[in-house]
Amino acid sequence: MKVNTKQKKLLYYVFAALMSAMIFVTTYFLKIPIPTPAGQTMLKVSNILVLLAGMLFGGVFGGLAAGIGNGLYDLLDPVYIASAPLTFAKFFIMGLVCGLISNSKGSKGLSMKRNTIGAVCGGVTYWILYITESIVKLMIAGSTFTAAAAACAPKMVTSGINQTIAIIGSLLLIVPLNKALRNYLPKFRTDDQSE
């Protein structure tokens, strides 16, 4: 299939938007809510797609796909609606970190070493942001740091499990997805689309 540069850009944006929609759908349907003393958390598989978005689309577009998909979920769930802006920011940063590392030095998400480092850094960055936010919220409500950290222990474990699943899952899927995208659209990532 021959496509010009304008068509490649359009398809690139379409794929990024589809990734955002897939993140929303998997967050909506593939989750296990877990109540904790620090508020509700959940086990979910959508973080795999967040890291894949960064690897496939680079830092900015991957971050936007991740932030928009998760932010929309929060906007439509009364439990999380107030935290939608923070959710957008945390997942944007997760996708951004992963994408910037995975796509550094012209690798365009094709280097397994960079993808691994990007996935780990993106997952750890999100974990730190999520736990910090949870502890700060409890401290603002009047808890001491020690009490807030103790109340967040279940969130620490759940988020750690989510990030481990996300890192492993994204690394297992990136090679076949990269191959499929490049077979469908030769030179899928072009220099004019990099951040």
Domains belonging to the chain, first-starting first, are 5-32+41-186 (1.10.1760.20)
Kindly compute the dihedral angle of the four CA atoms of residues 112, 113, 116, 118, in this order, to the nearest 10 degrees.
-110
- Torsional sign, CA 14, 15, 20, 21: positive
Q: Rounded CA gap, 126 and 112, in Å?
A: 21
Task: Identify which of 124, 69, 128, 58 has the alpha carbon closest to the alpha carbon of residue 95.
Answer: 58
Compute the average pLDDT of residues 119-128. 97
- Burial tier of 151 (Cβ tally within 10 Å: 0-12, 13-18, 19+): middle
| Average pLDDT, rounded, for the chain | 88
When pLDDT is cut at 50, 70 and 90, the band that residue 31 belongs to is: confident
Condensed to tens digits (0 to 9), the pLDDT of residues 182-194 reads: 776 655 554 444 4
Question: At residue 97, does pLDDT exceed 80?
Answer: yes
> How much is the pLDDT for 191?
42
Looking at the DSSP bridge assignments, the partners of residue 32 are 43
Neighbours of 177 (CB within 10 A): 15
Q: For the whole prediction, is pTM greater than 0.75?
A: yes
